[in-house]
């Protein structure tokens, strides 16, 4: 009986222990569940609410609106227009094959266009945006919007694209925009931050140089979507800021005239204010329509541009390295005067050629000019005279003066990454670059702008401007009040030793244009309002043989690629100078017949428009 009672107690204790353990487990499980629910609903509330919203709310960044470019008078030369685009995100499409064929029918895509879309789809990740079209007509854009119920994952987008109303006239200044590629995004933090599929960015020119200032910030749209990813309603719209609008110093009317004057020719025209350094016109010919690049240039258009023998892709004003020919003579003369090598009474007898150590150096005039003095030598552009003063001067002193006046270095600094420095040689340069000593004959041909010396058209314009303003350094600029314009506090740097020497060169250039026998006399303007002073130049592109001299062919009888380049530099009005210019025509023959007549037309336009330019300056001053 006692054993039976003991067994019952043991069983009861065992049951109680089990119940206790079970109850404890239930308690701890309950506590754990309650704690977890509390943690999820209270502590992690924001996190899971955000995740929920991500399933319910979608955010789209829209392409930023680029700032515009205006000319000096406020005319839009690079603006924007609304472009209708169609985007598809492949991973959001339930049946991509159905959707893409549906779009083919709705947009009436050709087989070629359709294959191009499929190829693009295979080149991107499933979550990346496929741009089916980046420039739809309004009719097709509306049609797509009316069928969105049947087009899961398709997104019509109203974007802003670039427009160049003056087409090819500003191309080599502005450049163009095109779709950003991987390198563009990786190499620019601003582009990376504001990137959206189809973003257009500057590829060359000022569009590229000022990218960070004009790109703008993104508009952001937030939409509520259903389980299928279709938009239900717009929840928020965050407006981005348009990029900075930049005003250029360019006068569109002068730029247009420059374009017309160089029509069907390869070359460059530059016009500059000799005091402010403002670029009035800067045209490189031939040019091309930058609008062709905005939505991707076709193969046919690209081949036409790329294979044009006149090289429209090359900015001849900034990239073209040319022998300056006789346009260097004002600097040679100035250097000789400044260094006391010659005075105005120094004369040389020109017989048409000079013999030196068995080498013959020819003057452009076969029979020679006879005895010529400083002023007359400049007027008739006597090569023999400049051979002699270059010989006496030496290349190192000539190089020093040329560099002072802006030759041999970039005019715009780092503004244009394509700009070339040119080359102003000296004895040390040749030793370092070629490992050879300098020869006297090389000094002589440098004195007439041949040999190693290379300049760009914009450098020649700057050189002329600084001669015209009395010999003071200026800092050329192409934008008004831009952050990239250099501090010009020291702009009154004097480039001469004796102002009398500058005046002598100015006067000699006047004679070259306005007096009988002057090389550009036929292009003179007698009216003092428009009267200008200048210097012609003819730069050889090949060595002239004795046979060539005997034949003495006219320009039109010589193969195009063997014809000399024609150059001209000038400033005016002569009595009260304000503007300088340079003209270069590739294979144009000679400066007096090809380049100088262009300057005559340009000065009439430039000086007639000067009061308008001044009125803009005065208005700006009054506003300040």
Report how far residue 8's alpha carbon sits from residue 14's, in angstroms, rounded to the nearest whole number: 10
Q: Considering Cα of 328, then 334, then 338, then 339, what sign does the dihedral take?
A: positive
| Residue 152 near residue 92 (C-beta atoms within 8 A) | yes
Strand, coil or helix: 147 = coil
CA-based radius of gyration for the chain: 36
Q: 284 — phi, psi (to 5°)?
A: -115, 135
User: In this predicted structure, what is the pLDDT of residue 621?
Assistant: 44
Retrieve residue 417's tokens. Answer: 């990454």
User: In this predicted structure, what is the pLDDT of residue 116?
Assistant: 77
| Residue 506 near residue 531 (C-beta atoms within 8 A) | no
What's the rounded mean pLDDT across residues 411-430? 96
| Residue 249 near residue 558 (C-beta atoms within 8 A) | no
Confidence grade of residue 619 (pLDDT, cut at 50, 70, 90): low
- DSSP letters for 30-49: HHHHHHHHHIIIIITHHHHH
Report how far residue 549's alpha carbon sits from residue 540's, in angstroms, rounded to the nearest whole number: 13
CA distances from 481 to 2, 221, 281 (A): 112, 34, 18
| Closest among 164, 386, 420, 380 to 268, alpha carbons compared | 420
Strand, coil or helix: 238 = strand
| Domains with residue ranges and CATH for the chain | 59-247 (3.90.1310.10), 252-300+313-623 (3.40.710.10)
Q: Give the number of other Cβ atoms within 10 Å of residue 216's Cβ.
A: 19
| Residue 258 near residue 281 (C-beta atoms within 8 A) | yes
| Residue 398 near residue 390 (C-beta atoms within 8 A) | yes
Instruction: Give the single-character DSSP code of 216.
Output: -
Report how far residue 267's alpha carbon sits from residue 586's, in angstroms, rounded to the nearest whole number: 5
Report how far residue 108's alpha carbon sits from residue 130's, in angstroms, rounded to the nearest whole number: 18
Report how far residue 101's alpha carbon sits from residue 98's, in angstroms, rounded to the nearest whole number: 5
- pLDDT tens profile 378-388: 999 999 999 99
- pLDDT tens profile 25-82: 777 787 777 776 666 566 566 655 554 555 566 677 778 899 999 999 999 999 998 7
Q: 221 — phi, psi (to 5°)?
A: -110, 135
The mean-pLDDT minimum among 30-34, 425-429, 511-515 falls in: 30-34
Retrieve residue 409's tokens. Answer: 């270095």
Q: 285 — phi, psi (to 5°)?
A: -125, 145
Q: Give the number of other Cβ atoms within 10 Å of residue 319's Cβ.
A: 18
User: In this predicted structure, what is the pLDDT of residue 180?
Assistant: 87
| Residue 299 near residue 375 (C-beta atoms within 8 A) | no
Helices (H) and strands (E) in the chain, counts: 25, 19
Report how far residue 469's alpha carbon sits from residue 506's, in angstroms, rounded to the nearest whole number: 10
Strand, coil or helix: 339 = coil
Report how far residue 164's alpha carbon sits from residue 205's, in angstroms, rounded to the nearest whole number: 14
Retrieve residue 365's tokens. Answer: 């005039």
Retrieve residue 275's tokens. Answer: 């005091």
- pLDDT tens profile 167-226: 999 999 999 999 888 888 888 999 989 888 778 899 999 999 999 999 999 888 777 766
- pLDDT tens profile 230-241: 556 666 778 889
Q: 260 — phi, psi (to 5°)?
A: -65, -40
For residues 401-410, b (16+ Cβ closer than 10 Å) or e, as one string?
Answer: bbebbbbbeb
The mean-pLDDT minimum among 34-43, 145-154, 302-311, 534-543 falls in: 34-43
Greatest mean pLDDT among 106-110, 120-124, 237-241, 396-400: 396-400
| Closest among 329, 479, 322 to 416, alpha carbons compared | 479
Tell whether the model's pLDDT for residue 452 goes beyond 50: yes
| Residue 430 near residue 437 (C-beta atoms within 8 A) | yes
Retrieve residue 99's tokens. Answer: 């959707």
The whole-chain average pLDDT of the chain stands at 86
Contacts with 154 (C-beta within 8 Å, 6 or more apart), sequence order: 86, 87, 88, 93, 99, 103, 144, 148
| Residue 199 near residue 177 (C-beta atoms within 8 A) | no
Tell whether the model's pLDDT for residue 316 goes beyond 70: yes
Which stretches of 129-240 are assigned E, i.e. beta strand? 130-136, 154-163, 177-179, 200-202, 220-225, 231-238
User: In this predicted structure, what is the pLDDT of residue 624?
Assistant: 39
Q: At what angle are helices 96-107 and 138-146 packed, to 10 degrees?
A: 140
User: In this predicted structure, what is the pLDDT of residue 538?
Assistant: 93
- pLDDT tens profile 570-608: 999 999 999 999 999 999 988 999 999 999 999 999 999
């Amino acid at each position: 009986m006692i054993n039976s009672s003991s067994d019952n107690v043991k069983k009861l204790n065992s049951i109680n222990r089990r119940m206790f353990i079970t109850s404890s487990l239930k308690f701890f499980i309950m506590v754990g569940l309650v704690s977890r629910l509390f943690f999820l609903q209270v502590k992690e509330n924001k996190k899971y609410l955000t995740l929920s919203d991500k399933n319910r709310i979608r955010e789209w960044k829209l392409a930023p609106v680029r700032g515009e470019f205006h000319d000096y008078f406020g005319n839009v030369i690079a603006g924007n227009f609304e472009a209708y685009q169609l985007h598809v995100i492949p991973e959001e499409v339930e049946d991509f094959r159905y959707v893409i064929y549906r779009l083919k029918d709705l947009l009436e895509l050709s087989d070629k266009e359709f294959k191009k879309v499929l190829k693009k789809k295979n080149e991107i990740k499933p979550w990346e945006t496929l741009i089916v079209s980046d420039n739809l007509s309004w009719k097709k854009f509306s049609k797509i919007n009316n069928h969105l119920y049947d087009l899961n994952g398709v997104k019509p987008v109203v974007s802003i694209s670039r427009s160049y109303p003056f087409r090819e006239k500003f191309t080599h200044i502005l450049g163009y925009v095109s779709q950003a590629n991987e390198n563009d995004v990786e190499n620019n933090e601003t582009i990376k931050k504001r990137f959206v599929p189809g973003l257009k960015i500057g590829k060359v020119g000022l569009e590229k140089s000022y990218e960070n200032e004009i790109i703008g910030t993104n508009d952001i749209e937030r939409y509520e979507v259903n389980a299928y990813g279709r938009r239900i309603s717009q929840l928020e719209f965050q407006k981005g800021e348009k990029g900075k609008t930049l005003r250029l110093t360019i006068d569109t009317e002068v730029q247009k005239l420059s374009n017309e004057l160089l029509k069907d020719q390869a070359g460059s025209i530059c016009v500059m204010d000799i005091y402010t350094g403002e670029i009035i016109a800067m045209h490189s010919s031939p040019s091309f329509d930058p609008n062709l690049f905005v939505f991707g240039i076709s193969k046919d258009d690209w081949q036409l541009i790329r294979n044009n023998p006149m090289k429209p892709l090359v900015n001849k004003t900034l990239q073209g390295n040319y022998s300056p020919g006789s346009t260097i003579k004002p600097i040679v003369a100035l250097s000789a005067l400044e260094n006391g090598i010659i005075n105005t009474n120094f004369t040389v007898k020109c017989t048409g050629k000079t013999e030196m150590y068995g080498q013959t150096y020819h003057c452009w005039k076969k029979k020679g000019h006879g005895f010529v003095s400083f002023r007359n030598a400049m007027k008739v552009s006597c090569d023999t005279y400049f051979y002699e003063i270059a010989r006496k001067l030496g290349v190192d002193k000539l190089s020093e003066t040329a560099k002072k006046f802006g030759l041999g270095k970039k005019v715009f600094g780092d503004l244009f990454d394509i700009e070339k420095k040119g080359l102003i040689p000296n004895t040390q340069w040749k030793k370092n670059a070629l490992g050879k000593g300098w020869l006297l004959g090389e000094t002589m041909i440098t004195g007439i702008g041949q040999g190693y010396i290379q300049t760009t058209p914009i450098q020649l314009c700057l050189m002329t401007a600084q001669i015209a303003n009395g010999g003071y350094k200026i800092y050329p600029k192409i934008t008004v009040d831009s952050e990239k314009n250099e501090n010009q506090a020291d702009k009154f740097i004097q480039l001469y030793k004796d102002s009398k020497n500058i005046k002598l060169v100015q006067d000699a250039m006047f004679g070259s244009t306005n007096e009988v026998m002057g090389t550009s006399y036929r292009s003179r303007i007698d009216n003092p309002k428009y009267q200008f002073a200048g210097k012609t130049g003819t730069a050889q592109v090949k060595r002239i043989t004795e046979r060539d001299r005997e034949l003495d062919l006219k320009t039109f009888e010589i193969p195009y690629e063997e014809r000399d380049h024609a150059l001209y530099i000038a400033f005016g009005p002569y009595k009260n100078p304000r503007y300088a210019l340079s003209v270069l025509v590739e294979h144009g023959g000679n400066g007096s017949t090809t380049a100088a007549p262009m300057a005559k037309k340009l000065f009439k336009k430039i000086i007639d428009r000067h009061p308008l330019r001044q009125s803009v300056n005065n208005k700006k001053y009054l506003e300040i």
